[in-house]
């Protein structure tokens, strides 16, 4: 068994092939070795989804972060980015950060797209938090079924 060290070029796409010249099967009748072809398979990931050259991810935030806005550090593919979540963000909204996605063949990069998900705690809500929610329910005029 042989081991090869292979440099994967930036921007390579799923299904593309790399050719290692002369590393394939031995040639017939003393001829030169054939080439070894390596087909690229980009693995699926639970955190990131590659669509073309754009990378998509989900970001879970709290209701108060959605209402008040906040800045959150989020891991992109090769760096941590500080992202401002605007006041009034809603579930399903996307924040697009240009040139932070997957590298294209021409050296440019796609976008990094962050999908907002507003989350609530199902099990760890304290009595104080429940009381604050009750107060908010009394004073708020917001009704998403009418507004």
**Are the beta carbons of 55 and 112 closer than 8 angstroms?**
yes
Extents of the domains making up the chain = 1-42, 48-122
pLDDT of residue 147: 65
* Alpha carbon 139 to chain centroid, angstroms: 38
Spell out where 3-43 has E strands.
Answer: 17-20, 36-39
Q: Is 72 helix (H, G, I), strand (E, B) or coil?
A: strand
The pTM score is: 0.78
* Alpha carbon 71 to chain centroid, angstroms: 18
pLDDT, averaged in runs of 10, over the chain (147 residues): 85 88 85 89 88 94 95 93 96 96 88 96 87 92 84
pLDDT of residue 121: 85
pLDDT of residue 89: 95
pLDDT of residue 124: 85
Q: Which CATH number fits domain 48-122: 3.30.465.10, 2.60.260.20, 3.90.550.10, 3.40.640.10?
A: 2.60.260.20
| C-alpha count within 13 angstroms, C-beta hemisphere, residue 42 | 19
């Amino acid at each position: 068994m042989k081991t090869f060290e292979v440099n994967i070029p930036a921007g390579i796409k799923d299904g593309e092939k790399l050719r290692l010249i002369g590393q394939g099967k031995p040639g017939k009748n003393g001829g030169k070795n054939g080439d070894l072809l390596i087909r690229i398979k980009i693995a699926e990931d639970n955190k990131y989804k590659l669509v073309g050259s754009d990378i998509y991810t989900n970001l879970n935030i709290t209701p108060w972060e959605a209402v008040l806005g906040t800045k959150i550090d989020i891991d992109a593919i090769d760096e941590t980015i500080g992202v401002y979540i605007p006041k009034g963000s809603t579930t399903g909204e996307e924040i697009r950060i240009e040139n932070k996605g997957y590298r294209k063949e021409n050296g440019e990069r796609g976008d990094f797209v962050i999908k907002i998900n507003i989350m609530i705690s199902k099990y760890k809500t304290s009595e104080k938090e429940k009381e604050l929610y009750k107060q908010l329910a009394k004073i708020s005029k917001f009704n998403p079924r009418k507004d």
